[in-house]
Amino acid sequence: MNNSALEGRPVRESRSEYTQVALPNDANILGSVLGGHIMQLIDLCGGLAAWRHARKPVVTASVDNISFLHPVRVGHVIILKSSVNRVFNSSMEVGVKVWVEDRNTGEVHHTSSAYLTFVALDESGRPVSVAPVLPETEDERRRFEQAGRHRDGRLLTRHDSSCSK
Ligand SMILES: CC(C)(COP(=O)(O)OP(=O)(O)OC[C@H]1O[C@@H](n2cnc3c(N)ncnc32)[C@H](O)[C@@H]1OP(=O)(O)O)[C@@H](O)C(=O)NCCC(=O)NCCS
């Protein structure tokens, strides 16, 4: 089964946002927020976009590499935005971008970007086709094209790792 018979949905319907104040519980002894905490927020914000697009349960299948470009300190505001870049069949590439805002100065820095693949599941937990996404803006079309190249790379990596076992 593939998704060609399903009616497409615009990217804007999946767009999601998370905002959280960094608390001491999320930080190391130097007061910097743990990378793992940011990764959890990326997964949650990305999953929300995937769920909004698919309107079905989704699981994280993979996360492409994540860099941390700017430290996040306790008291800073963490802002995440996500949307579905492209649907393949049951899987979707979701882009998540993270910024950190200094509450005292109002300065905002981009700290991370990530691409995640989520897979939609049916009632029995099997992958199920998802409606295609319809890019409308130039940026959305660019991300759609890039997502195709990202997928080619992922499939190669998956194939390589399954061959080396
Ligand atoms: C992701 C999962 C549902 C895929 O199941 P599967 O039986 O391997 O399914 P398939 O081989 O039919 O693949 C289904 C889709 O997932 C994609 N996929 C599977 N593994 C992937 C991976 N590692 N990275 C990217 N996409 C992946 C396939 O490309 C396919 O996409 P398509 O339908 O758009 O073409 C299954 O591996 C799983 O449940 N993993 C655990 C997910 C989880 O618990 N995540 C939480 C973190 S532990």
pLDDT digit string, tens, across residues 4-15: 889 999 999 999
Cα–Cα distance for residue pair 7/17, rounded to 1 Å: 25
Ligand 1 binding pocket includes 44 (Cβ within 6 Å):
no
Q: Is 117 in the pocket of ligand 1 (CB under 6 A)?
A: yes
The answer to whether the CB of 158 is under 6 A from ligand 1 is: yes
* pTM greater than 0.85: yes
Determine contact, residues 92/6, Cβ cutoff 8 Å. no
Query: Across residues 26-32, what is the average pLDDT?
Result: 95
d(CA 151, CA 149): 5
Contact 38, 90 (CB under 8 A): no
* Ligand 1 contact, 61 CB (< 6 A): yes
pLDDT band at residue 162 using 50, 70 and 90 as cut-offs: low
Taking only the tens place, the pLDDT of each residue in 68-112 is 999 999 999 999 999 999 999 999 999 999 999 999 999 999 999
Instruction: Indicate the top mutation candidate among 119, 129, 133, 161 to test ligand 1's pocket, ranked by most ligand atoms within 8 A of CB.
Output: 119
Residue with tokens 């963490």: 78
What distance in angstroms lies between residue 89's CA and the mean position of ligand 1's atoms? Answer: 11
Sheet holding 108-120, edge to edge: 16-21, 77-87, 91-101, 108-120, 58-63
